[in-house]
Structure 1
Amino acid sequence: MSSPASTRKFDEKREAIIHAASVLINEVGVQATTLAEVARAIGLNATSVTYYFPRKEQLVVAVYDETLTLMEEIAQAALDQPDPAARLRHFIASQIALRKRIRAGERGLTTALSEIRTLEPESYDTLMAHYLRVVGVVRRFFGEWSGNAQRALFSARAHILLEAMMWWPVWSLRYSVRDFDRIEERLFDVLASGLPSERGRFAPQDLGGDWRTGEGEEGGQNEAFLRAATVMINRLGYRGASVNRIAESLNVTKGSFYHHHQAKDDLVLACFQQSYDRLSAVQMAGLGLGGDYWTRIASVMRELVDLQFFDATPLLRTTALQALEADHKEDVVTRSNRLARRFAGMLIDGIADGSVRPIDPLIAGQVIMSTVNSAYDAHHWAERFEDRDAATRTYLRVLSEGMLADPR
């Protein structure tokens, strides 16, 4: 039997390996993280690391499981608060505090979960079960539901809240830590009470445009590659969407792929470009509408979420960012921030015409971006609705009325 001292030493070394791997995965992604690099980061040789984790996948699973455990602890602590408002406030405050600790120099505290889909099915299923436990805790922030409609609404609130907090580390880089307390208050305000000055108002107009995939639309081979790659990356992550799988899904050879794209990163960047071009086109169509600016914003959000739920070519999830090289990642985030700033500009105009509450438009723009982006992961949730418009409206109630509105 191991002595307490030897057990403690084992646990400490194992924890150090997990933290080092977490840092590397955040910086370079799962594929570029090797056992040798992890060992080098903490002054060990690779053989020492394999004593604790014989295979890299086991280490990656341990890294993700630790992050999910932290998320569950944060969510459970928030659930222990006395009412929905206190729970929401506590959850947001805990996420802001975590980012403060990371800015202060603590490393390995949490890992971006964007590449969970790339793991083997058994590992993926185990981690997703853990994530769904977290979702279950967050869904209970809003009380007990009285039927399927309320449960669906609370599920949408939980999904959007979690995605907003997972997107926060990306856009937080644009702010000083001295601004974090203010951001905490403004973020709570946006999520708690929504965007329009007339709470719950949501009367979007139809937008014309060529950003949808038509019935039976084929397009050229490059268009087919972009469509197949976007869907596959959204479903399986960057590593899971191999060139072979993409080519096989189209019944073409790998040679056809390389005729259009020099490498898979080029394809991912092209998918981001196409997605952001479509998002931008929808925004511009919304700006061209008549009426107040909340109507224009609501119209844009409804169209984009409907694309994510039901179109054959959804927008590419930002989860693909994690595996890109640093310079490519920076380019994609820059474009995303520009689109978020366009939403912010529309919100400013809405505040000016009185249709939008006086909220922080920069923060609200990022919340809109994460809400739209993450809608793809809720498409199975949306498919359970008999009326697709009801699915979109229920999902966007988080922004039209806020998370603390009466669910009835």
Structure 2
Amino acid sequence: MSERGGGRSTDRFERKREAILDAATLILNREGVKGLTLGVAAAGVGLSTTSVTYYFKRKDDLAAACLMRGIAWLNAAADEALKAPTPPDRLHLLLSLHLERLSKAATGEGPAMPSLADIRALNNPWRGEVTEAFMKLFRKVRSLFDAPDMAWLGRGRRTARTHMLLEQLFWAGAWLPKYDPEDYPRIRDRMFDILVGGFATEGAEWAPAPAPLAELAAHDGTESGRETFLLAATRLINARGYKGASVDKISAALNVTKGSFYHHHDAKDDLVVACFDRTFEVMRRVQRLAMAQAGDQWTKLSSAAAALCEYQLSEFGPLLRTSALSALPEAMRDEQVAHSNRVSDRFASMISDGIAEGSIRPIDPAIAAQMLNATLNACAELGFWVPGVTQKAAPSVFARPLLMGVFTR
């Protein structure tokens, strides 16, 4: 599945254009749209900025071309996967193609896969064009579920499961580098096993404990104003991206002055970090409450997942999407990824304990925890993908398919 197939790959113009895109994709993945400039991309291939403008007139031309190339590859992978006869076969082939692609990038045999998390940071008309291309990809992946024996799965739930599946592909790029590329086929098999078989043992029921949302969001006195500020900022960043969530817009949403913003935070990067800190603290609070309740580890884990899904759609939510990571300077980003990994590690411990006691089936705890983390984070956008979904329905619509199997009723 070459991105440089046919006679065009021998053309000098196309070869140079592809080299620029290769270099720019690495910058885009590392620093986001905000950090991608024509000058930096030019330096990556030994050209002057003026030379790069021969291929891409503006920065957004270059960023959009990187993203569109990635979407085109995923479209081709989805086309190939849809040739398989059954939904599980299609999922297995899509995972195989994607991890093979990431493996080639990791070993230098192919260009990096662009992160699609920063589409919102593009200006129009580029943002609209890339978003439209992504929506076409989304609909194609959703057709993975098309089969007579899947007719029971309604459109809304099918859409939710597609959102969850794509999030697994995108987030895998963040945690796969801890493994050797030669292990990717084994990881593919474990991801597939988790997606199809879920976490639950045979006969287990989906009966999470009620979520104490007010307790999860509780803040006293002096912290309530800061919480309100961070929640407004989180909502804007999730909706419009780092670039679109300006200090003016955050202040206007709260009807406060810009001075109030700088009273809380020295710079916008500090605000993003504070929003991530809030996110991880809520997740840790949920984990602590779940671990303290009665019952086996399956009950505790499913209750934690359900609580976080409800929280995302509640008046207290959402939590900050991991897509905001690309906007942070590298040192800050690494620190927040470390926080995320600690949350995943605690989920992994709960899964390991469940496997030991027999309430969770034997799965890879580390991989399962990353996949759970990705699902819970992606739930922040469930209302966009499934308009009208209620807070109470969110756990069964979005968390249950991962925990009990994506093809399970």
TM-score of the two chains, using structure 1 as the length reference:
0.92
- Matches of 1:274 and 1:378, distance apart in 2: 20
Match of 2:55 among 52, 77, 80: 52
1:198 is matched with 202
- Matches of 1:278 and 1:6, distance apart in 2: 50
Find out whether 1:337 has 2:341 as its counterpart: yes
Tell me how far 1:122 sits from its aligned partner: 2.8
Deviation track 1:299-330 (CA, whole Å, cap 9, x = no partner) reads 11111011112334311100011111111111
Find out whether 1:99 has 2:114 as its counterpart: no
1:317 is matched with 321
Match of 1:178 among 179, 182, 186: 182
- Matches of 2:224 and 2:157, distance apart in 1: 40
Distance 1:319-1:261 versus aligned 2 partners, 3 A rule: same
Alignment of 1:129-148 (within 5 A): 129-144=132-147
1:304 is matched with 308
Distance 1:321-1:107 versus aligned 2 partners, 3 A rule: farther
Deviation track 1:183-211 (CA, whole Å, cap 9, x = no partner) reads 11111100111110035621001143645
Distance 1:349-1:213 versus aligned 2 partners, 3 A rule: closer
Find out whether 1:376 has 2:398 as its counterpart: no
Corresponding residue SS for 1:82: coil
Tell me how far 1:11 sits from its aligned partner: 2.3
Corresponding residue SS for 2:200: coil
2:281 is matched with 277
Unaligned regions of 5+ residues in structure 2, if any?
A: 1-6
1:69 is matched with 72
Distance 1:315-1:6 versus aligned 2 partners, 3 A rule: closer
8 Å contact from structure 2 (residues 102, 113) kept in 1: no
Deviation track 1:9-47 (CA, whole Å, cap 9, x = no partner) reads 222222222222111111222212211111111121111
Tell me how far 1:105 sits from its aligned partner: 1.4
Find out whether 1:17 has 2:20 as its counterpart: yes
Distance 1:140-1:284 versus aligned 2 partners, 3 A rule: same
- Matches of 2:164 and 2:380, distance apart in 1: 11
Find out whether 1:78 has 2:86 as its counterpart: no
1:150 is matched with 154
- Percent sequence identity is 38
Corresponding residue SS for 1:155: helix
- Matches of 1:147 and 1:6, distance apart in 2: 43
Tell me how far 1:366 sits from its aligned partner: 0.6
- Matches of 2:8 and 2:387, distance apart in 1: 54
Find out whether 1:125 has 2:132 as its counterpart: no
Tell me how far 1:391 sits from its aligned partner: 3.6
8 Å contact from structure 1 (residues 199, 400) kept in 2: no
Distance 1:232-1:106 versus aligned 2 partners, 3 A rule: farther
8 Å contact from structure 1 (residues 186, 359) kept in 2: yes
Distance 1:43-1:299 versus aligned 2 partners, 3 A rule: same
2:290 is matched with 286
- Matches of 2:359 and 2:154, distance apart in 1: 27
Distance 1:59-1:381 versus aligned 2 partners, 3 A rule: closer
Superposed CA RMSD in Å reads 2.3
Corresponding residue SS for 1:43: coil
Worse overlay, 293-302 or 304-313: 304-313
2:3 is matched with none
Corresponding residue SS for 2:212: coil
TM-score of the two chains, using structure 2 as the length reference:
0.91
Deviation track 1:48-96 (CA, whole Å, cap 9, x = no partner) reads 1112221111111111111111111111111111211211111111121
Deviation track 1:333-375 (CA, whole Å, cap 9, x = no partner) reads 1111111111111111111222111111111101100000011
- Matches of 1:107 and 1:322, distance apart in 2: 22
- Matches of 1:252 and 1:17, distance apart in 2: 43
8 Å contact from structure 1 (residues 382, 391) kept in 2: no
8 Å contact from structure 2 (residues 217, 282) kept in 1: no
Find out whether 1:223 has 2:224 as its counterpart: no
- Matches of 2:222 and 2:122, distance apart in 1: 31
- Matches of 1:166 and 1:84, distance apart in 2: 20
Deviation track 1:206-238 (CA, whole Å, cap 9, x = no partner) reads 143645558xx9964422221111111111111
Distance 1:260-1:6 versus aligned 2 partners, 3 A rule: closer
| Aligned AA (1:288) | A
1:267 is matched with 271
8 Å contact from structure 1 (residues 310, 379) kept in 2: no
8 Å contact from structure 1 (residues 35, 56) kept in 2: yes
Tell me how far 1:389 sits from its aligned partner: 2.5
Corresponding residue SS for 1:202: coil
1:35 is matched with 38
| Aligned AA (2:319) | L
- Matches of 1:355 and 1:7, distance apart in 2: 57
Tell me how far 1:120 sits from its aligned partner: 2.1
Worse overlay, 15-24 or 336-345: 15-24
8 Å contact from structure 1 (residues 23, 111) kept in 2: yes
- Matches of 2:284 and 2:269, distance apart in 1: 22
Tell me how far 1:296 sits from its aligned partner: 0.9
| Aligned AA (1:110) | M
- Matches of 1:258 and 1:149, distance apart in 2: 49
Worse overlay, 364-373 or 249-258: 249-258
8 Å contact from structure 1 (residues 164, 371) kept in 2: yes
8 Å contact from structure 1 (residues 192, 404) kept in 2: yes
| Aligned AA (1:119) | L
Worse overlay, 393-402 or 38-47: 393-402
Unaligned regions of 5+ residues in structure 1, if any?
A: none
Give 4+ residue runs of structure 1 displaced > 6 Å after superposition. 4-7, 145-148
